[in-house]
Structure 1
């Protein structure tokens, strides 16, 4: 990795190889725009308060950390399976609303 690629230059292979662990600026901006659109959808969705909170906790929306199904279950006194069912129903509603609000390009990002 440290050896020069060309004999007449000091450029190492490491310098020209992209780091797959670093997000490209275009991808980062795209994700931020998607987050803003999804956040705005929360204002017009017919999600119950519990569904809304589960989605926010599960995906870390609003600055929090992402939580597991078990962690969310402990917060609400629900089983992991029940939290998964509520999450699934909320994601389905999100997908439906994304399509009706012209944001269907983001639907594939939802589980």
Structure 2
């Protein structure tokens, strides 16, 4: 395969010199006496990587990487909104008792990203899962009260925009 790639690249360079342009896959196939499908396959395999730091433009101030969109990344505005939401959530949770705050954080995965069962939280506090359920329910009632919930409600009402 490597021999075929090298042969194809050499032939392509020769044809660029002859024609003054890149040869078509059909022209390469004819010259190398290979099927067009094989030429396409070899060209796909032989694509050389290009650095994202490759300069673009006359001034070479821009780089190729500047023009590539990361669809998996988070936008700066979303990052700020998420940070604001985390800060507001932390402030609202601080209005609970330390025990209630810890239980809510464990149950909803706000501490380590992993949600814990009533049983797991109960073992952590050395109480039954029923007692944890009662404390959680009381804490959630407190959080729903307008004096606490208004800070977080703004994120829902304004399309995740904070106050």
TM-score interval for Structure 1 and Structure 2 normalised by the shorter chain: 0.5 to 0.7
RMSD: 3.0
Query: Whose relative contact order is higher, 1 or 2, with alpha carbons under 8 Å and at least 6 apart?
Result: 1
What's the CA shift for 1:36?
Answer: 3.3
Q: Distance in 1 between matches of 2:141 and 2:131?
A: 15
Which of 37, 45, 54 does residue 88 from structure 2 map onto? 37
Q: Distance in 2 between matches of 1:49 and 1:34?
A: 20
Show the counterpart of 1:89. Answer: 138
Unaligned runs of 5+ in 1: 1-24
| TM-score (structure 2 length as normaliser) | 0.40
Distance in 2 separating the partners of 1:76 and 1:103: 28
**In the aligned structure 2, how far is the partner of 1:106 from the partner of 1:92?**
19
Match of 2:98 in 1: 49
Distance 1:31 1:59, change over 3 A: farther
TM-score (norm 1): 0.56
Asked if residue 76 in structure 1 is aligned to residue 141 in structure 2, the reply is no
Which of the pair has more CA radius of gyration?
A: 2
Q: CA deviation at 1:42?
A: 2.3
- Between the aligned partners of 2:118 and 2:135, the Cα distance in structure 1 is 10
| 1:98 Cα deviation from its structure 2 partner | 1.0
Spell out, residue by residue over 1:75-95, the C-alpha distance to the aligned partner (whole angstroms, 9 max, x if none): 111111110110011111111
Q: How many residues align?
A: 82
Partner residue of 1:5?
Answer: none
